[in-house]
Amino acid sequence: MGHSAGGHLVSMLTAAPSRYYPMNVRPWLGSVILDSAALNIVQLMSQRHLPLYDYAFGEDPDYWKKISPYELLEKSGPPVFAVCSRKRIDNPCNYHRQFNSKALEMGRTSSLMRLWITHGEINSQLGKDSDYTEAVESFIYSLL
């Protein structure tokens, strides 16, 4: 599970787990990606974006492809449950939708929950009594 930048790291592992097995990463049951706009780095960086992404991802389109979960997505990998904020101006739900659709087209198990709460609330509200927490817990329990 990862939120924001942590969601990008989780999504990189999830998109292409076979790349990381030689690094002693062991297979895991599933992934929860919480409100990361960094799922399609090529598209994100090719359009108007927040300055923090320049610092994080640089200016090299070849590098963007190497770190873009959307570009790395393999046919085989753990199930995904993703959550995105519909309130964010940089529209992470668009990137989550793209990632989710491509994963499903490849035969992966992937689902997306779009919420009308802020980026910070995606993190702070998880664990509180809500449909959101129940959905994440249901996904996790389905893997056990």
Mean pLDDT for 49-63 is: 94
Cβ atoms of 135 and 112 closer than 8 Å = no
Domain boundaries of the chain, sorted by first residue: 2-143
Mean of per-residue pLDDT scores for the chain:
96
CB-based contact 35:6 (threshold 8 Å): no
* Beta-sheet pairing, 110-115 with 31-34: unpaired
pLDDT digits (tens, 9 = 90+) for 13-50: 999 999 999 999 999 999 999 999 899 999 999 999 98
Closest CA to 33 of 94, 100, 102, 121: 100
Neighbours of 117 (CB within 10 A): 17
Split at pLDDT 50, 70, 90, the class of 53 is: very high
pTM, to two decimals: 0.93
pLDDT in tens, 89-101: 888 999 999 999 9
Residue 28 carries which side chain, given as an amino acid letter?
W
- Cβ(34)–Cβ(3) below 8 Å: yes
Rounded to the nearest angstrom, the gap between the alpha carbon of residue 19 and the centroid of all alpha carbons in its chain is 17
Fold of the domain built from segment(s) 2-143: Rossmann fold (3.40.50)
Residues linked to residue 114 through DSSP beta bridges, in sequence order: 84
C-alpha span between 44 and 103 (Å, rounded): 18
